[in-house]
Amino acid sequence: MRVFPDRISSKVIFVCLTFLLALTVLGSAQPWKSKNKHSSVSKDRITALEEKVERLEGRIEKPLWVTGILFLYASVAAIWAQSTDRNAKKWFILGALLNVVTMIAIIMINIRDKANQKRNLMSLGHSKKKPDAA
C-alpha cells in the first residue's frame, strides 16, 4: 500500500514538511526582553541616540541651500562665459569651486574687455565726433 500519490514525489513532501517545521519554530519565537535593572539605562541611551540623529539630519539640510547658492554662482559664470565666447564648462567649474573669487574675476575681466573695446573703437577712428555742419 502506497502512502504518497503517484504524482507527488517524496522530495516535494520532505521540502514542504521542512518548510512547515521552520515556520512553526520561527513563528513561535518571542522577542528577547531584558528583565534586568539596566533597561532604564538603555532607554536613556536610545533617547540620546535619537537626539544625535536629529542633529545629524539638521546638518544634512544646511548644505542643501549652500549647494543651491554654489550652483547659482556656477550658472552665472557659465552664462557670462558663453556670452563672451569663453569656455562655459571651465567657468562653470570655477564658479562652483571658487565662487566669490570667480565673480570678482568676471567683473575685472569685464571691465578690461570694455576698456579694450573702447580703445579699439577709438583707434579705428570710430570715436564719437559731431558731424561738421557746412
Q: Is the pLDDT of residue 111 over 90?
A: yes
What is the pLDDT, as a whole number, of residue 82? Answer: 92
Residue 107 has a pLDDT of 92
pLDDT of residue 41: 66
Distance linking the first and last C-alpha atoms of the chain: 134
Give the contacts of 69 (CB within 8 A, at least 6 positions apart): 99
How confident is the model over 10-69, as pLDDT tens digits?
A: 666 677 667 666 766 666 655 556 555 556 668 888 888 999 988 887 777 666 777 888
Q: What pLDDT score does 67 carry? A: 80
Give the Cβ contact number of residue 82 at 10 Å.
14
Task: Let me know the angle formed at the C-alpha of 62 by 57 and 63, rounded to the nearest 5 degrees.
Answer: 105
DSSP assignment of 91-125 equals HHHHHHHSHHHHHHHHHHHHHHHHHHHHHHHHHTT
Please identify which residue in the block is written with the cell numbers 564658479: 95
**pLDDT tens digits for range 71-110:** 898 999 999 999 999 999 999 999 989 988 999 999 999 9
Residue 74's CB is within 10 A of a number of other CB atoms, namely 19
Check: CB of residue 89 under 8 Å from CB of residue 78: yes
Q: What is the pLDDT of residue 87?
A: 94
Phi, psi of 127 (to 5 degrees): -70, 155
C-alpha 100, offset from chain centre: 22
pTM of the model: 0.48
